[in-house]
Amino acid sequence: MNGQLTEVVDTRTKRNKEKSDVFNGKKEFQILENSLEAGDDYLKIEESCEKLIKNSECLLEFNYSTNEKEFTQLTSLIYIIQFVLRTINKHRIYLEVKSLKQFLLEVVPEIATLDIINELLNKDKLRSCKIFKQLFEIINKTENFSKYFQLYKNTTNITVTDNIATISLKSIDNEEDSTSNNNNHEENELSICQYYESIFDVILTLANQALFQNDMYESNDLEPFKITLTNFKNYLTLYFCKHENDQLSQLLMEDNLPNSDHTLCLSILLIIWNFVDKPIFVSAFIETGYAKAVLDWIQLPFVNLEHKRSFVSIIHNLVRQKQGQNAFKQENAIVILDKIRSTIENYQDFDMNIVYYMGLILIDGHELIETFLKQSKDSIKNILNTLFNKNVRACRNLIKHKELKYHGFHLSELLVVLEKLFISDFIVKYFLTNGEPEIDRVSSHHLSSLSSSSSSISSLTSSSISSESSTFLLDDKKDSIKIFSDALLSIYGTVTHGDDRGKLACESLMKILWSITFYSDDEQIKQQLKSNGILIFLLHSLSEIDHKVAEIAKCILHNLHEILPSSLSKSASLYKIPEPFVLFCYSSQDEQSVKQLIHPQTFTVYPLLIDDDNNEIKSWDEIKFLVIHASIFVVVATKYSYSSRYCRQIAKYALELKKEKIVLKKNYTTQGWFESLTSANANIHNRCIIFNFTTDDDNLEMFNYEDRMTILNLNGEIASIIEENQKFELSNETIKMKNRTNVKRNIRSSLSRFFSKEKTNIENV
């Protein structure tokens, strides 16, 4: 009996031992954390770390929280990331324990790349958004990235003497400490930085996966993380200062200093790239000063191609929004980007060149492109040919497959660039006519190297476009107007029911067609639009909806000589404007200078802001009323008004009505469509007076002598024209009254003769 009892006890002990040998991730992490807190048992730390390393593939299968409903492998990974950061922040003295170091620097990054993580992020977009926010909340904590950044700043001291960069170790210890102690402390900080860089690279890689191709984010999602965005910006600035040139990088290698910050730098650039690819996030980056920062970075002389490609794409994505364009204009971006143009082209990366020029064009660089094209630069022709072809192919893809994506680009990304280029009649002629076929050939070098490009990270993996698709075919020129028209027929529904990018694509197509209706050198081009009955019907329908494209539709129809019923109310405030009045057309950018130019007490002035992106612009019916009843039409000729289709439309209508015109040139030559406004042929039956004005916007209170005389002459000329018009109208009214009197006299005389004749006839009878 004793033997049987012993056997039972042995069996129970064996089962308990087997049960204790079953690995429990949650329990093992707790044991490790307790050992680190206690700090007196290195063997326990080693043992726990070895168990975690051995069972690393199943660590995500354990639920480390009490919430069973929310458990997934993603929540487990979040716990492991938080554990790593707690260890780095609180238990630095154990970081050199071999197994702990291996777990933190090697095993955790491997766990984060398991296939299940990517599958879960792609499968559930809402969960991806939630995970993304959790990851950024971790980074955003003061004890995490801010702490690392402070350590990173303490690791190196860069000085430049006689244009030679030198690097030295910078210690935060007291000056009384020995040099060796300083260096030891510095090496320790460098070592700690490696741990931070490793885990932040993991976090940012996961955040990128959650962000990429997920459109379920909202504009305020980044609002709580602006401190982190600022830290990213400052970190990158310090990084590029640290690695400013090859000589400095060589010094780092010779001193055996770690260079793991390079990987983290690329991860930060990558997530910024993907952030700004989503229009809803652009404002957060503009508000945190990225316009100036990225322009500073892109000018650095020894930045490698990886970084340069990121800078170019970030700039392009930021300037796709009006807020971004304005921010870059304030930083004089056109001058800076033109200065580095040869550097970008020397990389011989045609994909990057295309995105570079797309960004340049969106920051009002279309005038620069027109200048290059007039100089017959082959590189610009290759760029323009490719951009035009991408737009045509993307529109065909929309018509055929109802897809708004084409080779990594959203259709709106391509059309907004073409819309800017179509401001220039010279470029329109290049795109739509066959007058210069020799400039339509793309060099064989570029044909063999062209590949699709993207404003987001997808450009790194996109497949190459065949050489056939990059050839500027004559058929494309002939069919392009029909293709743009049919694309509008395919997408017009997005105006009321689409997302922001769909609406932008539709508006850009309409503006492209609007520009085509201005082009007067070839009437056959307009005829292609007029003969498209379905398009005309659609434009009439769009002209009646409550959206800003309605006014664009009305302007297109007016230029195609289509009759439109007036929608101007009889009770409109415009009817109360005292006459005579002067209609001043100018951009909001020129508003301050215009106010200094005119004396409204002498005559009534009606200001009309003509920015294309002005949501409060008046309706076409109101604009027509103002032009008809204005005594004088004044346009302030600057690069801003030149780029405004509304300004051009108003000037065109003023020409049609043979209005008296004054063109005020403010630091600008009257080129392009301004020439048609001021040419002698256009003003046979009326006057067009030109004044020059040179004072800069920054010095409006300091007018030079010439500008003071311009102000006097301008106001005097306006008063003179108004007086002449009043005399002419008075003379016309006098003539009309005399004519009416003569008509009445003739009628009475005729009636008298008639009745006299009738009386004679009666008497004879």
Whether 624 and 587 map to the same domain: the answer is yes
SS (H, E, C) 715-744: HHHHHHHHHHHHHHHHHHHHHHHHHHHHHH
pLDDT the model gives residue 755: 56
Whether 699 and 585 map to the same domain: the answer is yes
Tens digit of pLDDT for each residue in 314-324?
999 999 998 99
Tokens encoding 607: 């200001």
CATH of the domain at 685: 3.40.50.10140
pLDDT at 460 over 80: no
Give the pLDDT band (50/70/90) at residue 220.
confident
Distance of alpha carbon 653 from alpha carbon 661, whole angstroms: 12
Distance of alpha carbon 552 from alpha carbon 547, whole angstroms: 10
28 neighbors 83 (Cβ within 8 angstroms)? no
Distance of alpha carbon 148 from alpha carbon 606, whole angstroms: 58
Whether 602 and 651 map to the same domain: the answer is yes
Tokens encoding 204: 């940012």
Q: Indicate the helix (H) or strand (E) that contains 342.
A: helix 341-346
91 neighbors 49 (Cβ within 8 angstroms)? no
pLDDT the model gives residue 461: 32
Q: Which residues contact 59 (CB under 8 A, 6 or more apart)?
A: 25, 52, 76, 80, 111
Distance of alpha carbon 267 from alpha carbon 272, whole angstroms: 9
pLDDT at 84 over 80: yes
Strands 405-406 and 409-410: antiparallel
Strands 632-637 and 688-693: unpaired
236 neighbors 296 (Cβ within 8 angstroms)? no
| Least confident window among 250-254, 380-384, 444-448, 617-621 | 444-448
The answer to whether residue 433 sits within a structural domain is no
The answer to whether residue 348 sits within a structural domain is no
Q: How many CA atoms lie within 13 A of 586 on its CB side?
A: 25
SS (H, E, C) 476-512: HHHHHHHHHHHHHHHHCCHHHHCCHHHHHHHHHHHHH
Tens digit of pLDDT for each residue in 739-757?
666 666 666 666 566 556 6
| Least confident window among 46-50, 166-170, 623-627 | 166-170
pLDDT the model gives residue 696: 54
How far CA 39 is from CA of 46, 79, 88, 196, 524, in Å, comes to: 12, 22, 14, 21, 86
Q: Which residues contact 397 (CB under 8 A, 6 or more apart)?
A: 403, 406
Q: Indicate the helix (H) or strand (E) that contains 607.
A: strand 604-609
Kindly report the number of other CB atoms within 10 A of residue 294's CB atom: 25
Tens digit of pLDDT for each residue in 383-407?
999 999 999 999 999 999 999 999 8
What total of structural domains would you count in the chain?
Answer: 3
Last residue in a domain, options 78, 108, 138: 108
**Phi first, then psi: what are they for 402, rounded to 5°?**
60, 35
Give the pLDDT band (50/70/90) at residue 440.
very low
Tens digit of pLDDT for each residue in 469-507?
344 454 456 689 999 999 999 999 888 888 888 999 999
DSSP one-letter string for 271-308:
HHHHHHTSGGGHHHHHHTTHHHHHHHHHT-TT--HHHH
Q: 513 vs 731, which has greater pLDDT?
A: 513
64 neighbors 117 (Cβ within 8 angstroms)? no
- What's the whole-number mean pLDDT along residues 38-45? 82
Whether 201 and 292 map to the same domain: the answer is yes
Whether 266 and 188 map to the same domain: the answer is yes
Q: Indicate the helix (H) or strand (E) that contains 608.
A: strand 604-609
Whether 26 and 164 map to the same domain: the answer is no
The answer to whether residue 12 sits within a structural domain is yes
pLDDT the model gives residue 30: 92
- What's the whole-number mean pLDDT along residues 679-698? 62
How far CA 610 is from CA of 9, 154, 646, in Å, comes to: 94, 53, 6
676 neighbors 521 (Cβ within 8 angstroms)? no
Angle between helices 500-518 and 645-656 (to 10 degrees): 30
The answer to whether residue 297 sits within a structural domain is yes
pLDDT at 542 over 50: yes
pLDDT at 201 over 90: yes
Distance of alpha carbon 493 from alpha carbon 397, whole angstroms: 17
Q: Which domain holds residue 24?
A: 1-108
Q: Indicate the helix (H) or strand (E) that contains 145.
A: none
Give the pLDDT band (50/70/90) at residue 135.
very high
Whether 168 and 64 map to the same domain: the answer is no
Nearest to 211 by CA among 129, 145, 266: 129
The answer to whether residue 510 sits within a structural domain is no
Q: 142 vs 315, which has greater pLDDT?
A: 315
Give the pLDDT band (50/70/90) at residue 727.
low
pTM comes to 0.81
Last residue in a domain, options 307, 337, 364: 307
The answer to whether residue 668 sits within a structural domain is yes
pLDDT the model gives residue 611: 79
Whether 58 and 128 map to the same domain: the answer is no
The answer to whether residue 330 sits within a structural domain is no
- For 152-280, list the strands marked E by DSSP: 156-161, 164-169
Q: What is the mean pLDDT of the chain?
A: 78
Whether 134 and 60 map to the same domain: the answer is no
pLDDT the model gives residue 439: 38
**Strongest mean pLDDT among 172-181, 296-305, 562-571:** 296-305
Q: 722 vs 508, which has greater pLDDT?
A: 508
Tens digit of pLDDT for each residue in 93-124?
898 889 999 999 999 999 999 999 999 998 88
Whether 70 and 133 map to the same domain: the answer is no
DSSP one-letter string for 322-339:
HHHHHHHHHTTHHHHHHH
Tens digit of pLDDT for each residue in 580-626?
788 888 888 877 777 776 666 566 778 887 777 776 677 888 888 88
Whether 98 and 169 map to the same domain: the answer is no
273 neighbors 212 (Cβ within 8 angstroms)? no
Q: 290 vs 647, which has greater pLDDT?
A: 290
Q: Which residues contact 740 (CB under 8 A, 6 or more apart)?
A: none
The answer to whether residue 680 sits within a structural domain is yes
Whether 13 and 94 map to the same domain: the answer is yes
| Least confident window among 24-38, 194-208, 709-723 | 709-723
Tokens encoding 438: 């020799």
Last residue in a domain, options 66, 84, 108: 108
**Strongest mean pLDDT among 286-300, 514-528, 554-568:** 286-300
